[in-house]
Amino acid sequence: MNQNEKAESNSKRCWCCGDYYPFYTKGFIRYNRERIGYCRKCEKIVGNGATCESWRNNSKRKRTINKFSMRVLNETLHTLSEVTQAILDEEQTSFNSVVREKAENKVAQECDLIFTDKIEIEE
């Protein structure tokens, strides 16, 4: 086997095939990728170092995953901005109501002082 054939067989292993879906096990902190997976083309469980004649590039799958991820992230960002705006609106509303209440109380106190001063003056 010459150098080119060896490099080509290494690049066409199942772990980098578009039809290979690796198995994962749940670890303590994250999911761990196993050294085996499912080949959709051959419809069987294979090791990640195996090769076959039906190997195909997985760049389209990666592009699809990236497009989907970007769409989900964009929707999440939009939702977060809506939630942030709602919280800010609620804070502004509550702040305005507190300010209004304090102003009304201050006006009421001043009116009471003026009214009591008039009563004392009249007596």
Only one residue has tokens 């804070």, namely: 91
Under DSSP, is residue 40 helix (H, G, I), strand (E, B) or coil?
Answer: coil
Q: What is the mean pLDDT of residues 70-97?
A: 86
Residues 6+ apart with CB under 8 A from 60: 18
**pLDDT(2) > 70:** no
Q: What is the pTM of this model?
A: 0.40
CA angle (109, 106, 113) in 5-degree steps: 25
C-alpha of 50 from chain center: 35
Under DSSP, is residue 23 helix (H, G, I), strand (E, B) or coil?
Answer: strand
List Cα–Cα distances, 79 to 70, 72, 86, 91, 93, in angstroms: 14, 10, 11, 18, 21
Residues 54-83: tens digit of each pLDDT: 777 766 666 677 788 888 889 999 999 898
